[in-house]
């Protein structure tokens, strides 16, 4: 190699004072490990395990909706508890943890060309605090009275009042678990942000980063600024519940008796919750955006269209997402000018989002599209996200939202946009990076079966729910009973939806079988099976060894999207390949 | 929420300033080749990390203040009088911060003896502050403004409590720094830690001054009689 280190202003190949952590025993290598790659796996396994609990809960919810009262384990109280835990687990403990703690930990150091995160010890703590949060959450299932049934939004005053299931212990454990989660996340988040800022290798400017890193980076900043709102809300509600303060509790007469509360404001909670809650949607969406951009580019052998615009759009969405939270509160009796403001800002967010969609489509345009499994999932994401995004535009308008709020239409909307769409990306990402993580390919045929059942099944589940919402079927209802407006055919539809939900859920076993089977029997992948240009595929070893890069850190000469470059010998140029003609 | 927006605007300004230096208009698909400057800061990662952490903590307190002021505007607000003791406590925290500043200067000049003195003094004054806060809580409690008396009192305990916890957390970092300083390592080895502690202390002092001002501004006696009565 040419001695580039001598050129002025370029840091040496190896920074001396980096003390790389070395595992000394089995325990520090696989359990209390500070290597981001191991932490990533730990995060992912924990998140997916608890996600499976949420999946089973969704079955129970669906069974009750299709066959009301048939299953004795789903009592009305249980139903609320299942709905609440399902929603909370899916949003926070599965998706947030998986995208940032899982994908973030694995990919950031490799993609920026670092040996590890900048604060490995804090990074390790982050996982253990997260695990503790999950344990506390699970404990609430076994506590007297069971987990909370307050809805994932935990609105006071009902969340902590008599009559709501899990009032006794469930809500306390839920709030404690959230507080722990936020503390753990903050530790990890500091790592993700500072590693991107300071850990980049030579030549890796911000504008040469793969969009995956940009997505995780902006989402982390968003989360670091949004989670404190949930933290404050949780602490205050915990005070109300345990110490008897009245932050959120107005004077209440229950069963003819004055409760000890008085003077608090439930609306204050809603503001705090949604100040976190809306950015949360983008905490999940932005990493998905980034990952999809990379999958599409790699698997259609084309550079990403409008890279700069993609970066700007990510930043714009992140900024805008802090001024739209009010669209979740249209029915809280807000001042009409506020409603107007929030509706407008909500619709404005659609602009950068649409830019991203156009750019994905234009990337595909005339690309050499390989319909690999990751690509299928990426395409599935685009369709689903557009779908959910459009119903979001409806709901963003006050006048449309008011009648549809709290109906199945909303359930269909948010599952499309922040449930199914990101989950498709999670799968796409796993199929894409599994070969790097394990050295083996996942089985293609099983992957295709998994994709089609999941993708089509998701539409069978959620498309009909839009119609249910239109005719006024409310969400969070244990049983509809006789109504004047819901025809009997809705019950038949509910049975069909439940059948689809059971099949989709069961089909995930194909995925898990594939993951475990391929670990031993999968085709050997080699270092770069997708012939991808970004840095994580250029490691000297696969799976990447301790310290990622062998003796010397890689040097980056180009962006991550040099596919099908005219005149180049290969159809892709790795980021660490020097230009053919010396630059100067 | 105005205060939260103000805070977010400051963060946004910092982010914008940083982004402006990252050549966001570069055309990465055109310029292959070696780039000397990746845009990383020359500061050590620990300092950047602390900066990001302080932004998160700042966000936390801003939200608390926002919640406080939103609740205040909703009427039925009977704030507790601010205990006089808080003035003394404020003084303690200023001294604590000053001592760490002194330790930082000493560390840069290579004077280990002064570093130790500064760290010790900083820690002691901070503990004095915490003890003072506890006494102030007792006083309020005795005067009938106990935690559940009304939302204003609850906010007072919550906000001062969260702030106190941050000082307590700082004590842990300070303790570790002192541990290093007393083990007789070279000054160069503790300099960064001392600097980080000092920055953190100045920050919690700043937060306290804002909180204290807020409490005073909304104090019923001050509101009725003006500032100097
Ligand atoms: C197989 C996949 C899934 C099925 C069948 C499913 C089904 C359901 C059902 C039936 C409800 C209750 C509707 C009601 O009566 O109010 C619900 C609520 C919810 N789901 Fe899912 N879901 C799935 C995946 C997800 C995912 C991936 C997310 C992640 C964002 C998610 C987030 C939520 C949330 C936030 C709620 C609202 C909880 C509440 O009302 O408090 N779900 N889901
Ligand atoms: Cu929203």
Q: What is the pLDDT of residue B22?
A: 83
**Cβ–Cβ gap B45/A558 under 8 Å:** no
Q: Would you call B26 an interface residue with chain A, using a CB distance cutoff of 8 Å?
A: yes
Q: What is the pLDDT of residue B160?
A: 95
- Of residues B78, B73, B87, the one with CA closest to residue B227: B87
Alpha helices in A253-397 (DSSP H): 266-299, 307-320, 336-364, 373-396
| Ligand 1 within 6 A of CB of A504 | yes
- Asked if A415 contacts A394 with a C-beta cutoff of 8 angstroms, the reply is no
User: Which of ligand 1's atoms lies nearest the C-alpha of A505?
Assistant: 1
Closest residue by CA, ligand 1 atom 7: A58
Q: Is A26 exposed, middle or buried (0-12, 13-18, 19+ CB in 10 A)?
A: exposed
Domains and CATH numbers, chain B: 2-217 (1.20.120.80)
Closest residue by CA, ligand 1 atom 12: A83
What Å distances lie between residue A440 and A45, A104, A235, A376, CA to CA? 18, 21, 46, 19
Instruction: Please give the CATH topology (third level) of the domain spanning A32-247+261-538.
Output: Cytochrome C Oxidase; Chain A (1.20.210)
CA distance A119 to chain B (A): 8
| Ligand 1 within 6 A of CB of A395 | no
- Grouped pLDDT means (10 residues each) for chain A, 584 residues: 40 52 74 92 97 97 93 92 97 97 97 95 96 98 95 93 92 97 97 95 93 97 96 96 92 85 89 94 95 96 94 94 88 83 90 95 94 97 94 89 91 95 97 96 97 97 94 91 87 96 97 96 93 95 90 92 86 89 52
Chain A residues close to B70, C-beta within 8 Å: 265, 268, 271
Chain A residues close to B148, C-beta within 8 Å: 243-246, 260
User: Which of ligand 1's atoms lies nearest the C-alpha of A61?
Assistant: 10
What is the rounded distance in angstroms from the CA atom of residue A412 to the CA atom of residue A418?
10
Best residue in A5, A15, A197 to probe B by mutation, most B CBs within 10 Å? A197
Q: What is the pLDDT of residue A310?
A: 95
Q: What is the pLDDT of residue B222?
A: 61
- Of residues A149, A158, A142, A174, the one with CA closest to residue A74: A149
User: Which of ligand 1's atoms lies nearest the C-alpha of A59?
Assistant: 5
Assign residue B172 a region (left: φ > 0; alpha: ψ between -120 and 50; beta: otherwise): alpha
Q: What is the pLDDT of residue A206?
A: 93
CA distance A212 to chain B (A): 16
Q: What is the pLDDT of residue B224?
A: 62
Ligand nearest the Cα atom of residue A407: 1
pLDDT of A74-94, one tens digit each? 999 999 999 999 999 999 999
Residue A440 three-state SS: strand
Q: What is the dihedral sign for C-alpha B61, B63, B65, B71?
A: negative
| Ligand 1 within 6 A of CB of A415 | yes
Which B residues in the span 168-227 are in contact with A, Cβ-Cβ below 8 Å?
none
Closest residue by CA, ligand 1 atom 32: A87
Chain A residues close to B38, C-beta within 8 Å: 200-206
What is the rounded distance in angstroms from the CA atom of residue A177 to the CA atom of residue A231?
11
Chain B residues close to A197, C-beta within 8 Å: 40-41, 45, 48
Instruction: At A544, give phi and psi (nearest 5°).
Output: -60, 140
What is the rounded distance in angstroms from the CA atom of residue A210 to the CA atom of residue A448?
26
| Ligand 1 within 6 A of CB of A92 | no
If you measure from the C-alpha of residue A466 to the centroid of ligand 1, how many angstroms do you get, rounded to a whole number?
14
What is the rounded distance in angstroms from the CA atom of residue B49 to the CA atom of residue B195?
13
Ligand nearest the Cα atom of residue A284: 1
Instruction: At A328, give phi and psi (nearest 5°).
Output: -90, 0
CA distance B77 to chain A (A): 8
If you measure from the C-alpha of residue A404 to the centroid of ligand 2, how many angstroms do you get, rounded to a whole number?
15
Averaged pLDDT for residues B187-194: 90
The residue of chain A with its CA nearest to that of B20 is A206
| Ligand 1 within 6 A of CB of A89 | no
Q: Please report which confidence band the pLDDT of residue B228 belongs to, taking 50, 70 and 90 as the band edges.
A: very low
| Ligand 1 within 6 A of CB of A271 | no
pLDDT of B121-148, one tens digit each? 999 999 999 999 999 999 999 988 888 8
- Of residues A531, A544, A372, the one with CA closest to residue A443: A372
**Cβ–Cβ gap A245/B56 under 8 Å:** no
Counting ligand 1 atoms within 8 A of each CB, the residue from A415, A420, A505 with the most, and so the one to mutate, is: A415
- Of residues A539, A541, A578, A582, the one with CA closest to residue A562: A578
Q: Please report which confidence band the pLDDT of residue B223 belongs to, taking 50, 70 and 90 as the band edges.
A: low
Q: What is the pLDDT of residue A16?
A: 45
DSSP state of B65: H
Query: How many beta-carbon pairs under 8 angstroms link A with B?
Result: 162
What is the rounded distance in angstroms from the CA atom of residue A524 to the CA atom of residue A435?
8
Q: What is the pLDDT of residue A425?
A: 97
| Ligand 1 within 6 A of CB of A413 | no
Q: What is the pTM of this model?
A: 0.94
| Token output for A178 | 């959230």
Q: Spell out the domain ranges in chain A.
A: 32-247+261-538
Q: What is the pLDDT of residue B217?
A: 83
CA distance B52 to chain A (A): 7
pLDDT above 90 (res B76): no
Q: Would you call B94 an interface residue with chain A, using a CB distance cutoff of 8 Å?
A: no
What is the rounded distance in angstroms from the CA atom of residue B46 to the CA atom of residue A58?
43
**Cβ–Cβ gap A562/B29 under 8 Å:** yes
What is the full DSSP assignment across A92-156? Answer: IIIIIIIIIIIIIHHHHHHHHT-SS-SSHHHHHHHHHHHHHHHHHHHHHHHSTT-S--STTTT-T
Closest residue by CA, ligand 1 atom 40: A151
Q: Could you tell me if the ipTM is greater than 0.90?
A: yes
- Asked if B44 contacts A575 with a C-beta cutoff of 8 angstroms, the reply is no
Q: What is the pLDDT of residue A20?
A: 65
């Amino acid at each position: 190699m040419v001695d580039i280190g001598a050129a002025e202003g370029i840091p040496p190949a190896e920074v001396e004072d980096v003390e790389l952590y070395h595992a000394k025993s089995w325990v520090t290598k696989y359990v209390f490990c500070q290597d981001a790659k191991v932490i990533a796996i730990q995060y992912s396994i924990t998140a997916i395990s608890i996600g499976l609990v949420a999946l089973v809960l969704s079955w129970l919810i669906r069974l009750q909706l299709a066959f009301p009262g048939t299953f004795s384990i789903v009592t009305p109280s249980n139903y609320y508890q299942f709905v609440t835990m399902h929603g909370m687990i899916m949003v926070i403990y599965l998706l947030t943890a998986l995208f940032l703690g899982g994908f973030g930990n694995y990919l950031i150091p490799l993609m920026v060309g670092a040996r590890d995160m900048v604060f490995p010890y804090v990074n390790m703590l982050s996982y253990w605090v997260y695990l503790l949060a999950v344990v506390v959450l699970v404990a609430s299932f076994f506590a007297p009275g069971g987990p909370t049934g307050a809805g994932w939004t935990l609105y006071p005053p009902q969340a902590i009042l008599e009559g709501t299931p899990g009032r006794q212990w469930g809500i306390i454990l839920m709030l404690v678990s959230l507080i722990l989660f936020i503390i753990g996340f903050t530790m990890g988040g500091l790592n993700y942000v500072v590693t991107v800022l300071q850990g980049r290798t030579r030549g890796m400017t911000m504008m040469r980063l793969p969009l995956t890193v940009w997505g995780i980076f902006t989402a982390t900043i968003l989360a670091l600024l949004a989670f404190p709102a949930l933290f404050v809300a949780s602490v205050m509600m915990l005070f109300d519940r345990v110490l008897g303060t009245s932050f959120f509790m107005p004077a209440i007469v229950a069963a003819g008796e004055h409760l000890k509360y008085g003077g608090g404001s439930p609306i204050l909670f809603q503001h705090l919750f949604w100040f976190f809650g809306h950015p949360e949607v983008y905490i999940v969406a932005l990493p998905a955006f980034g990952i999809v951009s990379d999958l599409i580019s790699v698997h259609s052998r084309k550079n990403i269209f409008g890279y700069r615009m993609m970066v700007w759009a990510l930043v714009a969405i992140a900024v805008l997402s802090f001024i739209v939270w009010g669209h979740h509160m249209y029915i809280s009796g807000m001042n009409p000018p506020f409603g107007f403001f929030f509706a407008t800002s909500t619709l404005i967010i659609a602009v950068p989002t649409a830019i991203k969609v156009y750019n994905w489509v234009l990337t595909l345009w005339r690309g050499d599209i390989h319909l690999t499994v990751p690509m299928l999932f990426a395409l599935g994401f685009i369709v689903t996200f557009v779908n959910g995004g459009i119903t979001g535009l409806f709901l963003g308008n006050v006048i449309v939202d008011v009648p549809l709020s709290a109906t199945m239409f909303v359930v269909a909307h948010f599952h499309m946009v922040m449930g199914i769409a990101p989950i498709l990306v999670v799968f796409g990402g796993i199929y894409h990076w599994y070969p790097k993580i394990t050295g083996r390919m996942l089985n293609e045929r099983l992957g295709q079966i998994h994709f089609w059942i999941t993708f089509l099944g998701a539409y069978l589940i959620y498309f009909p729910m839009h119609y249910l919402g239109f005719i006024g079927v409310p969400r969070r209802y244990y049983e509809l009973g006789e109504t004047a407006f819901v025809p009997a055919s809705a019950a038949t539809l509910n049975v069909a939806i439940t059948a689809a939900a059971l099949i989709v859920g069961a089909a995930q076993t194909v995925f898990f079988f594939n993951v475990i089977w391929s670990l031993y029997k999968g085709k050997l992948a080699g270092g770069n099976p997708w012939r991808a240009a970004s840095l994580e595929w250029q490691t000297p070893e696969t799976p990447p060894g301790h310290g990622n890069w062998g003796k010397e850190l890689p040097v980056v000469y180009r962006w991550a999207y040099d596919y099908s470059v005219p005149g180049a010998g290969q159809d892709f140029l790795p980021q660490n390949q020097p230009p053919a003609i010396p630059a100067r | 929420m105005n205060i939260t927006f103000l805070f977010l605007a400051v963060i946004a300004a910092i982010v914008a300033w940083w982004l402006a230096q990252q050549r966001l208009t570069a055309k990465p698909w055109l310029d292959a080749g070696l780039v000397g400057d990746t845009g990383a800061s020359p500061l050590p990662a620990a300092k950047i990390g602390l900066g990001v952490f302080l932004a998160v903590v700042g966000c936390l307190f801003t939200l608390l203040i926002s919640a406080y002021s939103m609740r205040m505007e909703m009427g039925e607000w009977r704030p507790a009088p601010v205990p006089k003791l808080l003035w003394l406590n404020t003084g303690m925290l200023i001294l604590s911060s000053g001592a760490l500043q002194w330790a930082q200067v000493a560390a840069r000049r290579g004077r280990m003896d002064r570093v130790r003195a500064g760290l010790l003094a900083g820690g002691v004054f901070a503990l004095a502050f915490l003890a003072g806060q506890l006494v102030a809580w007792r006083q309020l409690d005795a005067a009938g403004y106990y935690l559940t008396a009304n939302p204003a009192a609850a906010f007072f305990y919550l906000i001062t409590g969260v702030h106190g916890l941050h000082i307590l957390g700082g004590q842990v970092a300070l303790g570790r720094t002192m541990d290093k300083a007393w083990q007789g390592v070279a000054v160069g080895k503790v300099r960064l830690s001392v600097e980080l502690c000092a920055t953190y202390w100045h920050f919690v002092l700043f937060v306290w001054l804002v909180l204290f001002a807020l409490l005073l501004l909304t104090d019923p006696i001050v509101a009725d009689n003006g500032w100097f009565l």
